[in-house]
């Protein structure tokens, strides 16, 4: 192998038309003309001591196309499409990050909001934050090198970011399962529904997906940064846990709905408490239904889909995936009546405190201007033995 490495004088690279693989001195490498030219010609390069030679025959002869002419419309259209899609999902993930970080800060800093339910909310927010950050890291690594982007030469860091971002996707659904399980235990109020410690929810939310992550790491050499569907069976390691989480969660919500209806009929639950649980169940069920439907529809996109159908499908998937964090933060924090009431209480308290301070300063100022006795500053500089 050392002999082979010594003689590999020509490194693989992207020449803006073709991908050229690693080659040893003396090798003659051929590449077909770009697919968008719809020709069957080939271009050759020799690997020498000085590196790659110029291509022969020239592209305009081999491919029967003048490269000084404008490229086919489909090439420019494809470039604009992928640039637009990347900007779109980058904006979506950025907006989600801002709302999620703000939501975590609100639920963490306001002490009255500290409870098991909001602890689960925060963990769900964190899973979406990690997912967005890892998507940005993956893109930064992938687009930093054209060889990686065009020639599918993936670095370890890019693959690792892809695996971790998929782990976070699984964590999104496992924490949604924790939300459903907690709500079920809350409304069932059975003899066996003792409070579970927070560590149990952490194991459920972060730990249940570690097995799939470990299996993915074993398949590390076969992975790509683009999550391409060439090795379809690998992605079932990621899909099966998520599908299981979605199905179990839907079963939880059917049970919750049944319990709430039964308690409403028997008037076993006060109206305010019932409305509170109903709103919680409605928010959680909406998220599970939306995210579950989204995952089931787009996780099974046929790998043979091409053309306009693929572009539309891919755009909708990435638009929805990038804004999921925003939807979660909106439903569980910013539209949460408990959070809104606490923020309003804090705001009223701050305004009252500010008003009192202004009144105090105004009174102090009016006393000093009216000359009603020596001020504290005058007393400070007056000597003990001096007379008034």
Q: For position 52, what pLDDT does the model report?
A: 84
- The count of C-alpha atoms lying within 13 angstroms of the C-alpha of 18, restricted to the half-sphere facing its C-beta, is 20
Q: For position 196, what pLDDT does the model report?
A: 64
Name residue, tokens 């529809």: 297
Q: What is the pLDDT of residues 263-297, one digit of tens each?
A: 666 665 565 666 666 676 777 677 777 777 777 77
Is the model more confident about 130 or about 265? Answer: 130
Q: Examine the pLDDT at 5 and tell me if it is beyond 50.
A: no
Query: Comparing 9-63 with 75-145+153-343, is the CATH topology the same?
Result: no
Residue boundaries of the structural domains of the chain? 9-63, 75-145+153-343
Could you please state the CATH topology (level 3) that the domain comprising 75-145+153-343 is classified under.
Rhopdopsin 7-helix transmembrane proteins (1.20.1070)
Is the model more confident about 342 or about 161? Answer: 342
Q: For position 123, what pLDDT does the model report?
A: 92
In this structure, CATH architecture of domain 9-63? Irregular (4.10)
Q: 246, 290 in Cβ contact below 8 A?
A: no
Q: For position 288, what pLDDT does the model report?
A: 73
Q: For position 3, what pLDDT does the model report?
A: 38
* Full-model pTM: 0.73
Q: 138, 161 in Cβ contact below 8 A?
A: yes
Most confident of 88-92, 136-140, 274-278, 279-283: 88-92
Provide the β-strand partners of residue 19.
14
Choice among 75-84, 174-183, 220-229, 269-278 with the minimum mean pLDDT: 220-229
CA dist 215 and 285 (Å) reads: 30
**Structure confidence at residue 2 as a pLDDT band (50, 70, 90):** very low
Q: For position 382, what pLDDT does the model report?
A: 45
Q: What is the pLDDT of residues 204-232, one digit of tens each?
A: 788 877 777 777 666 655 566 655 455 56
Give DSSP secondary structure letters for 146-208.
Answer: HHHHHH----HHHHHHHHHHHHHHHHHHHHHHHHHHHHHHHHH--TT-PPPPHHHHHIIIIIT
Q: Examine the pLDDT at 139 and tell me if it is beyond 50.
A: yes
């Amino acid at each position: 192998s050392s002999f082979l490495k010594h003689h590999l004088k020509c490194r693989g690279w992207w020449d803006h038309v073709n991908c050229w693989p690693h080659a040893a001195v003396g090798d003659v490498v051929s590449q077909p003309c770009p697919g968008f030219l719809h020709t069957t010609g080939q271009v050759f390069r020799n690997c020498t001591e000085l590196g790659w030679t110029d291509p022969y025959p020239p592209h305009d002869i081999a491919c029967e196309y003048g490269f000084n002419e404008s490229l086919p419309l489909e090439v420019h259209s494809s470039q604009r499409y992928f640039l637009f899609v990347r900007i779109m999902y980058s904006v979506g993930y950025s907006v989600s990050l801002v709302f999620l970080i703000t939501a975590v800060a609100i639920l963490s800093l306001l002490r009255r909001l500290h409870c098991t339910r909001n602890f689960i909310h925060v963990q769900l927010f964190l899973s979406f934050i990690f997912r967005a950050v890892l998507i940005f890291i993956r893109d930064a690594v992938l687009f930093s090198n054209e060889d990686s982007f065009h020639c599918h030469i993936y670095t370890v860091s890019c693959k690792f970011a892809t695996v971790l971002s998929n782990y976070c996707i699984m964590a999104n659904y496992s924490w949604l399962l924790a939300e459903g399980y907690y709500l079920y235990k809350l409304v069932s109020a059975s003899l066996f529904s003792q409070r579970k410690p927070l560590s149990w929810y952490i194991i459920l939310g972060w730990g249940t997906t570690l097995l799939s992550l470990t299996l993915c790491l074993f398949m590390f050499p076969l992975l790509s940064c683009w999550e391409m569907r060439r090795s379809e069976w690998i992605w079932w390691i990621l899909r099966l846990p998520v599908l299981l989480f979605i199905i179990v969660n839907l079963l939880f919500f059917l049970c919750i709905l049944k319990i709430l209806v039964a308690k409403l009929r028997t008037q076993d639950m006060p109206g305010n408490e019932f409305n509170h649980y109903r709103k919680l169940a409605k928010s959680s069920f909406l998220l599970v239904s939306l995210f579950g439907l989204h995952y089931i529809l787009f996780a099974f996109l046929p790998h043979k889909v091409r053309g306009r159908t693929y572009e539309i499908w891919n755009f909708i998937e990435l638009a929805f995936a990038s804004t999921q964090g925003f939807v979660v933060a909106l439903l569980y924090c910013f539209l949460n009546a408990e959070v809104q009431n606490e923020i309003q209480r804090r705001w009223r308290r701050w305004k009252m405190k500010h008003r009192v301070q202004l009144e105090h300063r105004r009174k102090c100022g009016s006393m000093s201007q009216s000359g009603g006795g020596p001020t504290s500053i005058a007393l400070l500089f007056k000597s003990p033995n001096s007379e008034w």
